[in-house]
Amino acid sequence: MSVPIITLFHPKGRIGKTSLVYHLSWMAADLGSCVLCADLDPQADLTSAFLDEDRLEAIWSAEPDRRTVRGAFGPLLRGGEDTAESYTETIEERLHLVAGDLALCSIEEELSDAWRLSLEGDARALRITSGFWRILTRAAEVAGAHVVLVDLGSNLGAIQRAALIASDFLVVPMAVDLLALRGLESLGPVLGSWRKGWEERRARNRRADFALPEGRMQPIGYVILHQPNRLDLPVRPLELWFSRIPGIYAKAILGESEGAGLSPEKDLNCLGSLRHYASLIPMAKEAKKPMFHLGPADGALASHAKAAEAARREYKALASRIRERSWGA
């Protein structure tokens, strides 16, 4: 069985998704798993979190093909048979990265055209549509990874579709606000459409020697990411939105009604509920390390040290739950 690919995705931006992928990757590595992170967001914020500016400039300046996910796509887009060998950055012994690239947005049109042509069984279009999957599976083999964690931009476009087709599992980060709930409602039907569309296209593959992803996109739960306290909002709307998450997730993502009336604390689909840790985030960015690795040398003293330990407990529990439902199953 190939290494499982888990994508963390919500169509609404600015809810803390990239920070979640970053910290979850570090924690999974701390717990003994070999992790490959993949930055498929054209904003490349995850890559910037892992790498310093000198390294970013080096990989983004390389020609003709950068050492990024966009660079790996290069030969295929120029008419070749397949993507290039995957480039990976080693962050530490058990943590590796397929670097993102602001130039990734340039393949949006190619992916859109390929989706249309692949319905006719066009071999090249099928290769392009499934390109992310081969890039990630090859990189995982090179890194010896147990799991691939994917950060994906907040949109419902061709890049997101191709990335989710490459995915075995889906984790949905959730903010407690009205826009996040509306985004969750819109995500479910789109996932169903993409899954069905890929099944149709996969069945038209005329090349028995050319493997394609299954496009499972199996949802394994949601993670609630609490935002900083907003003094402009009364408590009641926040409580109302919080209580509605289980029912909307069950209906939109799973096509079920069992979540209605449940609180997130009692909902088995809720993988975790994470505090914001506002005071630790700037320190972690400055130190280029996760919040739960901060120590006295980084300025994590007294209350900051306690917050770092609380973050460790929360992320350890979250990583363990996700592992149980995916690569540790």
Question: Is the N-terminal amide bond of 64 cis, ω within 30° of 0?
Answer: yes
Q: How far is CA 192 from CA 30, 69, 205, 226, 255, in A?
A: 35, 26, 21, 28, 10
Using pLDDT thresholds of 50, 70 and 90, give the confidence band for residue 227: confident
Is the pLDDT at 208 greater than 90? The verdict is no
| pLDDT value at 26 more than 70 | yes
Give phi and psi for 213, each to the nearest 5: -70, 155
Looking at residue 235, its pLDDT comes to 58
Confidence of residue 279 (pLDDT cuts 50, 70, 90): confident
Task: Report whether pLDDT(294) > 90.
Answer: yes
Q: Who wins on pLDDT, 87 or 322?
A: 322
Q: Stretch 83-90: mean pLDDT, rounded?
A: 91
Quick one: what percent of the chain has pLDDT higher than 90? 81
The whole-angstrom separation of Cα 33 and Cα 106 is 33
Residue located via tokens 């350890």: 316
Tokens for 262?
Answer: 């449940």
Residue 311, amino acid: A
Q: Which helix (H) or strand (E) holds 173?
A: strand 169-174
What's the mean per-residue pLDDT of the chain?
A: 92
pLDDT of residue 229: 64
Q: Is the pLDDT of residue 11 over 90?
A: yes
Count how many Cα atoms sit within 13 Å of the Cα of residue 32 in the half-sphere of its side chain. 4
Give me the CATH code for the 5-277 domain, please.
Answer: 3.40.50.300
What residue ranges do the domains of the chain occupy? 5-277
State residue 122's pLDDT score.
Answer: 92
User: Which residue's structure tokens are 């796509």?
Assistant: 73
Please compute the mean of the pLDDT values over residues 16-45 and round it to a whole number: 97
The DSSP H or E segment spanning 268 is: none
Write down the pTM of the prediction. Answer: 0.95
Residue 36 has pLDDT above 60, yes or no: yes
**What's the confidence (pLDDT) of residue 66?**
86
Q: What percent of the chain has pLDDT over 70?
A: 96
Locate 199 and state its tokens.
């099944």
pLDDT of residue 31: 97
pLDDT for 209 equals 74
Give me the phi and psi of 218, to 5 degrees please. -70, 120
* 231 has a pLDDT exceeding 60: no
Encoding tokens for residue 156? Answer: 């419902």
